[in-house]
Amino acid sequence: MAASSTLPKLIQDPRYTDFVKRYAYNLPLFASEVCGLNLTYQQIEVMESVQNLGSRTSISSGHGTGKTASFGLIVLWHLTCYYNSVTAVIAPKVEQVRKQVFKEVALSLNRMKKGNFAWVAEQVELNVTDINIKDAKQYWHVLAKTAPKNEPENLAGLHADYLLVIADEASGIEDTHFGVLTGSLTDQRNRMVLASQPTRNTGFFYETHHKLSIPFGGAWNNIALNSELSPIVSLAFLKEKKLQY
């Protein structure tokens, strides 16, 4: 084991062990106590699926369900609760990750700084292209990755004991990319989360809600977030959408 002087400050903090024990397997509790957030029942369903080691979660989501906010929270949870973890957030365009998911990470981090766990938040360094734990940038971090067409090799090389892969707008990501990503999940502790609007009836994302899903004997826990049932979607928005169709 490396000398303690070479370990990140967060690991050396005597409070960190209790922090991990309390929150590493309880995402809703992390949201409430660490970030001061009240989750909807739909967000709790997502959190309870993701928090399990080795989980595979696929989310079909309408507008305004809090899906992106959930991703920001999940990213911060995985980063702070799992030493030496790697989190990869992927979308068809990297700007989607930086402007949406990373923005939500920043919001949750700011809430964290105002509470009893500011000592953890102070060890998180949020940049435009990545997020990391201070003094551990090379191996304990969050990466924003793009999934360019016909270039699945862009997603190769993701490996860690605690690896979390999040694919946003997953319906727009080519199946060859998912072949690379699922091939990275070599450890039983690795997790993967997909989310998208259900825009296609073919492809890997579609199949995670059908033949690759748990009811069909597969590994994927498929969750549907219905805008009409979301407590954070306004009636005015729903009425407007209905008038458009």
Please give the positions annotated as active site: 169
> Could you give the angle at the alpha carbon of 108 between the alpha carbons of 236 and 162, nearest 5°?
120
Q: Quick check: helix, strand or coil at residue 221?
A: strand
42 and 28 Cβ atoms separated by less than 8 Å: no
d(CA 112, CA 122): 9
144 and 98 Cβ atoms separated by less than 8 Å: yes
Amino acid, res. 217? G
d(CA 47, CA 30): 10
Length of the chain: 245
Strands in 141-146's sheet, in edge-to-edge order, are 124-126, 130-133, 141-146, 86-91, 163-167, 191-196, 56-61, 221-225
How many Cβ atoms sit within 10 Å of the Cβ of residue 99? 10
φ and ψ at 195, to 5 degrees?
Answer: -150, 145
How many Cβ atoms sit within 10 Å of the Cβ of residue 183? 12
